[in-house]
Amino acid sequence: MSSDSSSQQPSLIGGHAQYVKGAAESVIGSVTGNTSWQSSAETDKSAGIEAMKTASANRDPAKDGYGKVEEIAGKVAGCEGMESEGAESKKT
């Protein structure tokens, strides 16, 4: 059996999705005052950030970047990492 190492690597999209999930849980927890939602939100946001950092460390902007689109999406979403990686991949 061959092993596909990419299936075990964190992805930027997966990390962003987990962070967004945490942000949504945070809003729900704040609105309802439910501390378990707030706690889960912090866990998901932290895990999402770590996944994005790990995925970014293994990423080659020359091959894996989306350039200007990624840079603009980062600005809109307020994600400094996405914005800087888009700018970096735009240069190559």
Q: Span 71-89, mean pLDDT?
A: 77
Q: What's the predicted TM-score (pTM) here? A: 0.64
Q: Span 24-49, mean pLDDT?
A: 94
What is the gyration radius of the CA atoms in the chain, in angstroms? 15
Q: Residue 39 and residue 92: Cα distance in Å, rounded? A: 41
Q: Span 22-37, mean pLDDT?
A: 94
pLDDT band at 3 (very low <50, low <70, confident <90, very high): very low
Find the helix or strand (DSSP H, E) in which 58 lies: none
